[in-house]
Structures are given as structure tokens and as C-alpha cells.
Structure 1
Amino acid sequence: MTLKEFKIFFSEELSDIYPQTEIESFFFILVEDKFQLQRIDTVIKPDFLITDQYLSELKNITKRLQKEEPLQYILGKTEFYGLRFFVDKNTLIPRPETEELVAWALLESKKLSNNKLNILDIGTGTGCIPISLAKNLENVTISAVDISSEALKIAKRNAVLNNVEIDFNELDILEAKKLPQQFNIIISNPPYVRELEKVEIKNNVLENEPHLALFVDDKNPLIFYKKIADLAKKHLTKDGLLFFEINQYLSTETVAMLVEKGFKNIELKKDYFGNNRMIKAGINT
């Protein structure tokens, strides 16, 4: 089968499940991953011949996509902040809005007066946040924690893959009484999707990504934010900063919680799509 013929087949097989733009995105990712062909190559090399071995593999991937399995899990990898990351079903797939959180933290971290920064990421998953920070900051020590030992295995692989040193530790943050040291920055993208919001979640996420890293009880949706804020009050340095990715529907409540706990200079920021998605706060005026 030629590349052009496979593209037609691929589109027809998935057209009832995904929008055309997403199908095309899948196609270009697959072509690059399997044949190292860029998007332009699919135009200038439509007669590129796919061997039977690769065709069988691509058809199997197509079947898995029909079952709404995320392509990132199928390939076992994804990109985040221009870096390559391993992913599996024990980790959330990194999202573009989290890239925006990283960009904000990088910008603000460079304004801090400290010669050396200590940074902590809570609920690290793939390690995408601390690894991206480590790749873009000098003279920094970064730690990261997660409740899942399986997620930490992936995070450690990703640190090696991207040639950075991160101190990873297993920790149930809700049970933590204290943190091991003081930090200039504490950053977290904790679970924040309420059970009532499951109706908004696509099947490919709902049926595949780890619920432990996604959902919180409707009655106490800010449980992680409250606990992390309490720890940050004790363990942020004088000019330290707390960064959160947040539930857009609970932005007002999250800001109010931080005000109640005595945080200062609280800033709420929208993501690329115009949703209230990030918060920065300090403990100093």
C-alpha cells in the first residue's frame, strides 16, 4: 500500500470517531514516528511504499485508535515543551496548558534574587514539569514527588532521556506533615476534575488515563490545593512562589482559599483558550 492509499484508509476507518483535523494530526505523527517523514514528505512522496510489516503495524494502531486509546499510549511517548517524554497508562498525558504553566514559572523564576533555586514539583506524573524546568534553568536543584511508584518509574526514565538530574520521591502529599527543606518555588498540577465533570471528559481520557491523577470528590474539590498551600506556607522561602494549574470552574474558590490562608500577590492567569487555568501566589507582600 502506498502512503497516499494508507492515508485514505486511515481517514475512512476513523472518520466516525474523530474530527478530520485530529485524524490528520494522528496521521502525520505516525508517519514521522514510523518513517521519519515530515508533513511535506506526505505531499511530495505520495507513492512511498509501505512494507507489509509496517502496514500490519499501522493497521493494528488504527484498530486501537478506533477503540479510543490515546495515540500517546499506543506509541509510548509524547512531546512536551519541545522535549520527548515516555508515557504509559500510569501517567497522565502532558497537556498544552501545563506547558503554559511551565513557561510562567520559568519567567518568574528568573526574577528571583537567589543565586541557586530549590524547586519542588508535587504530583509529578511523567516528570514533565520538573524536567522542563531543569532543561531551561541554570544553578537549580529540583525535587519531585508522586504517590504512584509506577509513575515515578516513568519520570525517572524521562529524566535520563532528557539528561537532567531530578530528586524523585514517593509521597502521599495528603498525608505529609512537612517537606524536607525550604523551596524557592513549589509548583503543582494536582488532581482537580470533579466527579460531576466526568460528562465533559472524552472517552479516550476517561477510559484510559489514571483516575487517581485526574479526579477529586465533588464535596472537597480543593483538597490537594488546601494541603499544598498549607505546606507551602511553612516551606517557601521569604520571596518564594507557589504555582498551581487549576480547575477553570473553581478559580474564584481557589483564589479565595489562598487569600484565606494568607497568601499575597495572588495572580490568576488564563490559558491559550481563555480559561482561568493558572495561579501564582507568594507569602511575602
Structure 2
Amino acid sequence: MNLAELSVTYQQKLQKLYDEEEIQSLFLLVVNHLLGYGKARYIIEKQTSLSEDVYLKFEEILLLISNGKPVQYVIGETEFYGLPFKVNPSVLIPRPETEELVDWILNDQEIIRQSGNVIDIGTGSGCIAISLKKHLSQAHVFAMDISKEALEIAKANALINQVEVDFIHEDILHPLSVDFPKFDIIVSNPPYITENEKQEMHQNVLAHEPHTALFVSNEQPLVFYEAIAEFAKKHLCNGGSLFFEINEYLGKQTIEMLTAKGFTDIILRKDMQGKDRMIKAVFNIV
């Protein structure tokens, strides 16, 4: 059995769960995990026969994936913004749209201050905070989460990527005990999927990823955004920027909420799929 034949096997066994492109992407993740091959090396080596023990490892992983477990949790790692991250069911698997949010921040020259303070609220795996710190080496980056288990993963990811991030165990929905500095940038990808939207989601997400990081009630879909906006009013520098990843259906409501709280220069941006997915807002102290 060689890699080319294994790729066909993965396509056949997983076609009921994923589309062809997704299957190829996850297969390449497994190849990289087991053999250390990137895509170019895979193309060169795909006709080379595999040893029996390596083949069995591919089969073991395929069995777990075919039962619905996300490949990132099976292999315990993923890539985000070109960096390696450990993941487990305590944290969400980082998404491409969140990479777009990071890219927006890093390419927004109006707000980048290399020596400034940045905080990521609801950091999960730490993917946003760590990616920002990796590219803004002089910035002082903080990362907050309610989950101790998530923070342990995030701390491990900071070590893997050789960056220093201050991790904080706090719940943004309750009074905070930490004495925070002023921030130039506040960013968050908080829970934003309403209960009504569950039926639209892939079963492997519902069965395996942490619901506390995904869902909000139908009655208060912006509960985290409102709390973070209030935090931002107190802790943003004059002219500082607030960045959110948002529910594609709640762009208008999020803008209205931010406007009512005194934020200005609000920009709603679509992701690569054309969905309203990101917002930037500025807070000027009167």
C-alpha cells in the first residue's frame, strides 16, 4: 500500500462525512503527522510503498475519523496562520475565518503599535493571541479564558511557538478580579452560534467540540459581545480598536449595539465565503 492508494481509501471511507476537498486536506494532515511530509514531499513520495506499521497507523486514524471524531483531535494538532497548535476537546479547532481576523489586525497599519498592549478574550487554544505575538514581537499580549483546561493548552502552544503571552483565568460575564492595563487592541472570537442554528452544524462538531465555546441562547445572542464591549470602554486606549469575529446573521445587530455603546468608525467585513464575519470598532474617550 502506498500513499496514493491510501488517499483513495480515505476518500471512499469518508465521502459520507466530508466533501472531496475536505477529505484531501485532512488526509494531508495525517500524512504530515505520521511522516512529516508537506504537500510537495507527499507528491514526490506518494507512489512509495509504506511499511506495515505505518500503514496500520493510517488505518487506526481513519477508523476514528470515520466514526466522526475531528482529525485535529485524533492527531492532537493543527495549523493556524502558518503556526503549529496542539488541540484537544477542551478547545475549539481553529477555523480559517479566524485566520482572516488575525490577518486583518496584522495588516491594519492604522492601529499597529509594536510596543502596545493586546488582549484576546476567550482565547481557547491561544491561536489568536499567539499568532499576534509571533508577528508583533514587541507587543505585550494577554489572553483570557474561563476554562482552566483551555488555558493549559494555550500555555503549551505558547511554548511550542516560543512566544510570551500573559494568560488570565477570568469570566468576562462576571466581575473581574485582575487589574488590567489599557489596551491598544482588544480582540475576541466569543461564542456566537444560537441554539436555533445547531441543526445546521456538522455532527462531528456537535459531538466533539466544547459547547461552551460555541453556543449562546436565542434570547441573548450578543451576551458576550455586550460584555466585551463594556470591558473595552473601560480598558481601551483613546482611539484603541476592538475586533470581533461574529455570527454571519447578526452583523446589523452587533453594529447597532456597538454604536449605542459609543463606538465609532465601525467596519463590517466579509470572509472569503462572502459571509459577514468580522467587525472592527474604535473607541474614543470623550
Give the TM-score of the pair, scaled to structure 2.
Answer: 0.94
Query: Counterpart of 2:118?
Result: 119
CA distance in structure 1 between the aligned counterparts of 2:94 and 2:283, rounded to whole angstroms: 29
Query: Counterpart of 1:131?
Result: 130
CA distance in structure 2 between the aligned counterparts of 1:45 and 1:26, rounded to whole angstroms: 18
Residues 162-219 of structure 1: CA distance to partner in whole angstroms, max 9, x if unpaired?
0100000111110035752211111100000000000111011111100000000110
Deviates more, 1:42-51 or 1:221-230: 42-51
- Relative distance call for 1:7 and 1:155 in structure 2 (3 A) is same
How far did residue 11 of structure 1 move? Answer: 2.3
Amino acid at match of 2:132: L
CA distance in structure 1 between the aligned counterparts of 2:11 and 2:111, rounded to whole angstroms: 50
Residues 59-86 of structure 1: CA distance to partner in whole angstroms, max 9, x if unpaired?
1111111111111111111111110110
Correspondence list, 1:62-81, <5 A: 62-81=62-81
CA RMSD, 1 decimal: 1.8
3-state DSSP of counterpart to 2:208: coil
Query: Counterpart of 1:265?
Result: 265
CA distance in structure 1 between the aligned counterparts of 2:29 and 2:62, rounded to whole angstroms: 13
Correspondence list, 1:196-215, <5 A: 196-215=196-215
Correspondence list, 1:95-244, <5 A: 95-108=95-108, 110-112=109-111, 116-177=115-176, 180-244=180-244
Consecutive unaligned residues in structure 2, runs of 5 or more: none
How far did residue 14 of structure 1 move? Answer: 1.9
- Relative distance call for 1:63 and 1:114 in structure 2 (3 A) is closer
- Relative distance call for 1:260 and 1:202 in structure 2 (3 A) is same
Identity %: 46
CA distance in structure 1 between the aligned counterparts of 2:207 and 2:115, rounded to whole angstroms: 42
CA distance in structure 1 between the aligned counterparts of 2:15 and 2:120, rounded to whole angstroms: 39
- Relative distance call for 1:38 and 1:227 in structure 2 (3 A) is closer
Q: Which runs of 4+ in 1 moved over 6 A?
A: none
Query: Counterpart of 1:51?
Result: 51
Give the TM-score of the pair, scaled to structure 1.
Answer: 0.94
Query: Counterpart of 2:8?
Result: 8
How far did residue 139 of structure 1 move? Answer: 2.0
Count of residue correspondences? 284
Q: Are the counterparts in 1 of residues 226 and 257 from structure 2 also a CA contact under 8 Å?
A: yes
